[in-house]
């Protein structure tokens, strides 16, 4: 027996290790996304920002009468806002809740091409619209569309002070819908962001910012639950005072009858927004809308909405009772908003931009797990063609995107629980 064959001989240091198993296809895809996403995301975002600018410019030319778009009055949503502001300015704000009167009013202000879709906003919204009527309508349209985008960029930079952060946030595909329809989804996102900004930075949530969301009260259900759970009673009480002040100011400026007209229209509003949505269900991105999109009736759709909303509120209650990282806690609240509101349109998905921004503030984008990057990339792509998917295939892709963002927030809270009491300073992100 030779020495090398002896059972007690040391192992041959020159022996080669067994060949490594080839990487799986999924692993290769993850590695590719790890290298590709940080480079491609700013480029895609820049292209989307350019598209938003082009859309606003084209609609402005259409508003000035210099061009005539084949799609008709593509900025018709702002025409509706403008007409309502004119009505309130002339003391006729309460009449906007009369569907037939409002339809005739829009055509009188805009012309026969004007389109009215019913007016359901609380009277506080007139306080924002009336000042716009001082400007010529094309200029007011630009202010209405561009100013929220600028403020959103500033808010994102305040949360994540990196040069690419506002670019990527403003390049989110869902913002293109807001620009194309001159809608107020970005405005809702701003209200939520400015309400939570002091909380994220270590202070009480802003009661004034929270009260401003009253122009879309169905989006504010999460705030009293979070404030009560977290013991932010000062913000809770001051929010109520600000709301009472808004009611008083609107009654003083537009007359108390406007509130009676609004309250009297609620039953008809519920009928229009829920029972009669019919083929228009593809516009909805809520749990309620998903059931209706799948041809469910009003009652089971509302039951599903209440069930999911209740579970989301319970989770929010339990998380806000704990001393967790504030940006992460705020991200959960923001991601909960779309899951608790039955009436939620495509443009309201811009709220998810704020939720993702807060998640990125909590953890550097470069330090996210590979699966998280893949999920975000999937949400980005899905939101690009979300409306078309829901309309053509009756797949509730909007709800899927909202659930994914919410699930990311919940997963981060569970995984990072041991370090949730750490300081919540912004990290290198995007």
HEC sequence for 381-428: HHHHCHHHHHHHHCCCHHHHHHHHHHHHHHHHHHHCHHHCCCCCCCCC
- Alpha-carbon gap, residue 206 to 242, rounded angstroms: 11
Mean pLDDT, 10 residues at a time, the chain of 430 residues: 46 52 65 66 83 83 69 67 95 95 91 80 96 90 92 95 89 88 93 96 95 94 96 96 97 96 94 80 95 94 97 97 88 97 94 93 68 78 86 94 95 72 42
CA–chain centroid gap for 343, Å, is 13
Residue-wise DSSP of 314-327: HHHHHHHTS---HH
Q: How many C-beta atoms lie closer than 10 Å to residue 126's C-beta? A: 22
The two three-digit tokens of residue 423, written as one number: 């300081």
pLDDT at 13: 45
The whole-angstrom separation of Cα 241 and Cα 247 is 10
For residues 75 and 59, give the distance between their C-alpha atoms in angstroms, rounded to a whole number: 7
CB atoms within 10 A of CB 147: 13
Domain ranges within the chain, ordered by starting residue: 40-419
Q: What is the per-residue pLDDT for 9?
A: 47
Query: What is the C-alpha to C-alpha distance for residues 335 and 186, in angstroms, rounded to an integer?
Result: 15
- Bridge partners of 128? none
Q: State the pLDDT at residue 68.
A: 67
* Contact present, 330 and 200 (Cβ < 8 Å): yes
CA distance 172 to 429: 16
Enumerate long-range contacts of 201-206, CB under 8 Å, 24 or more apart.
201/326, 202/326, 202/424, 204/232, 204/234, 204/235, 205/232, 205/235, 206/235
**Rounded to two decimals, what is the model's pTM?**
0.87
Which pLDDT does position 77 carry in this prediction? Answer: 84
295 conformational bin, left if phi > 0, alpha if psi -120 to 50, beta if neither: left
pLDDT for res 379: 86
For residue 30, the model assigns a pLDDT of 64
* Pair 159, 358: CB distance under 8 Å: yes
- CA 326 vs. chain centroid, Å, equals 19
Q: Residue 430's pLDDT is what?
A: 40
Nearest CA among 344, 355, 353, 346 for reference residue 286: 344
- pLDDT of 72 reads 44
Concatenate the DSSP letters of all residues of 118-163 into one string: -----GGGHHHHHHHTTS-HHHHHHHHHHHHHHHHHHHHHHHS--T
pLDDT of residue 35: 67
């Amino acid at each position: 027996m030779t020495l090398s064959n002896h059972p007690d001989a040391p192992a041959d240091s020159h022996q080669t290790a067994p060949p490594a198993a080839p990487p799986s296809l999924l692993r290769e895809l993850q590695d590719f996304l790890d290298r590709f996403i940080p480079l491609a995301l700013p480029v895609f975002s820049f292209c989307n920002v350019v598209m938003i600018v082009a859309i606003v410019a084209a609609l402005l030319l259409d508003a000035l009468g210099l061009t005539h778009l084949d799609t008709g009055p593509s900025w018709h949503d702002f025409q509706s806002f403008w007409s309502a502001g004119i009505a309130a300015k002339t003391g006729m704000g309460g009449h906007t809740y009369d569907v037939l009167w409002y339809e005739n009013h829009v055509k009188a202000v805009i012309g026969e091409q004007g389109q009215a879709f019913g007016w359901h906003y609380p009277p506080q919204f007139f306080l924002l619209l009336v000042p716009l009527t001082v400007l010529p309508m094309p200029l007011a349209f630009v202010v209405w569309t561009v100013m929220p985008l600028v403020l959103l960029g500033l808010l994102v930079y305040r949360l994540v002070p990196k040069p690419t952060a506002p670019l990527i946030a403003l390049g989110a595909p869902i913002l293109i819908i807001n620009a194309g329809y001159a809608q107020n989804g970005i405005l809702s996102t701003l209200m939520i962001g400015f309400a939570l900004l002091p909380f994220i930075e270590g202070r009480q949530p802003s009661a004034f910012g929270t009260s401003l969301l009253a122009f879309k009260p169905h989006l504010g259900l999460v705030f009293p639950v979070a404030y009560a759970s977290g013991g932010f009673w000062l913000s809770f009480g001051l929010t109520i005072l600000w709301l009472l002040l808004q009611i008083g100011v609107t009654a003083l400026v537009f007359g108390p009858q406007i509130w009676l007209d609004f309250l009297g229209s609620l039953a008809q509003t519920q009928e229009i927004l829920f029972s009669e949505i019919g083929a228009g269900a593809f516009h909805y991105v809520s749990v309620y809308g998903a059931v209706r999109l799948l041809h469910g009736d009003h009652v089971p759709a509302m039951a599903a909405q209440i069930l999911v909303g209740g579970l989301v509120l319970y989770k929010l209650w339990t998380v806000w009772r704990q001393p967790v990282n504030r940006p992460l806690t705020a991200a959960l609240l923001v991601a909960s908003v779309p899951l608790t509101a039955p009436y939620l349109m495509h443009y309201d998905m811009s709220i998810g931009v704020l939720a993702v921004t807060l998640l990125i503030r909590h953890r550097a984008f470069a330090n996210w797990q590979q699966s998280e990057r893949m999920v975000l990339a999937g949400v980005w792509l899905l939101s690009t063609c979300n409306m078309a998917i829901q309309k053509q295939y009756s797949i509730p892709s909007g709800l899927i995107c909202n659930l994914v963002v919410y699930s990311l927030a919940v997963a981060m809270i569970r995984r990072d629980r041991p370090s949730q009491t750490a300081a919540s300073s912004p990290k290198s992100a995007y």
